[in-house]
Structure 1
Amino acid sequence: MLTVLWNAEEPLSPAEVQARLEDDLAYTTVVTILTRLHDKGVATREKHGRSFRYHAVDDEAGLAARKMTKVLESEPDRGSVLARFVTQLSESDEEVLRALLRGDSGG
């Protein structure tokens, strides 16, 4: 469902999301999932008539970064977690990280 929101150029109604899905989900299921995405802060919604229109807050990279930040913030020893993370990076990922820390665009 997030893929549908990411690919949309404007906020979508639940019916529009349902029409763009490959799966045959019931309208009520689509509304439930969109509501949960909104409650989790992954999607925004705006009132449009008697219903809502939904839009993804972040792209795929932004969502992954948000998840990583949430995990990091939940750990009491952030330094150890970061150190362990960095030691597990591939050489190319390590170079991207170094470039980003230097202020290069890298992405």
Structure 2
Amino acid sequence: MKGQLGELEDAVMTVVWRWNRPVTVREVLVDLQRDRSIAYTTVMTVMDKVHQKGWLRRELDGRAYRYTPVSTRAAYTAALMHRAWALGDDPGAALTAFVGTMTDTQRAVLAAALGAAAGGGP
């Protein structure tokens, strides 16, 4: 999968992930129009771009495509975190600063994730 998503691409993917089944441009359009004024052709173009980036797969269903996500929202978020980690010249300092901004609940989730990754289970 190529690159991170722009703001509108992320909004489209959020809708697709939320539907959790193959969706058409029209379905995504209706969902997005609850919060913003947006044209069908804009959504179609954005979904095509996200498909080209490798985040969506599509299958022709009659005259329209049905789109499904290639991976989960969690996998996308993890990729963003990994990319951000790779940008710094001092990953330890960046991680320390990041953990310093976390809430107690977020730190507990992090501790559980580290335990699970180390084989300690959730």
Q: TM-score, normalised by structure 1?
A: 0.71
Counterpart of 1:18 in structure 2 is 29
Shift of 1:24: 4.5
Counterpart of 1:3 in structure 2 is 14
Matching of residues 22-101 of structure 1 within 5 Å = 22=34, 23-41=36-54, 43-48=55-60, 51-56=64-69, 57-59=71-73, 61-101=74-114
Distance 1:74 1:52 in 2: 36
Compared CA separation, residues 32 and 82, structure 1 to 2 (3 A): same
Distance 1:2 1:70 in 2: 19
| Amino acid across the alignment from 1:15 | R
Query: What residue ranges of structure 2 are gaps of 5+ in the alignment?
Result: 1-11
Shift of 1:65: 2.8
Whether the aligned pair in 2 keeps the contact of 1:14 and 1:27 (CA below 8 Å) is yes
Whether the aligned pair in 2 keeps the contact of 1:11 and 1:55 (CA below 8 Å) is yes
Whether the aligned pair in 2 keeps the contact of 1:11 and 1:54 (CA below 8 Å) is yes
1:35-80 deviation per Cα after TM superposition (whole angstroms, max 9, x unaligned) = 2323444x31223156532223323x44333322221122232222
| Amino acid across the alignment from 1:48 | L
Shift of 1:81: 1.1
Task: Tell me the C-alpha RMSD between the 2 structures.
Answer: 2.5
Query: What residue ranges of structure 1 are gaps of 5+ in the alignment?
Result: none
The alignment of Structure 1 onto Structure 2 pairs a total of residues equal to 103
Distance 2:43 2:105 in 1: 39
Q: TM-score, normalised by structure 2?
A: 0.64
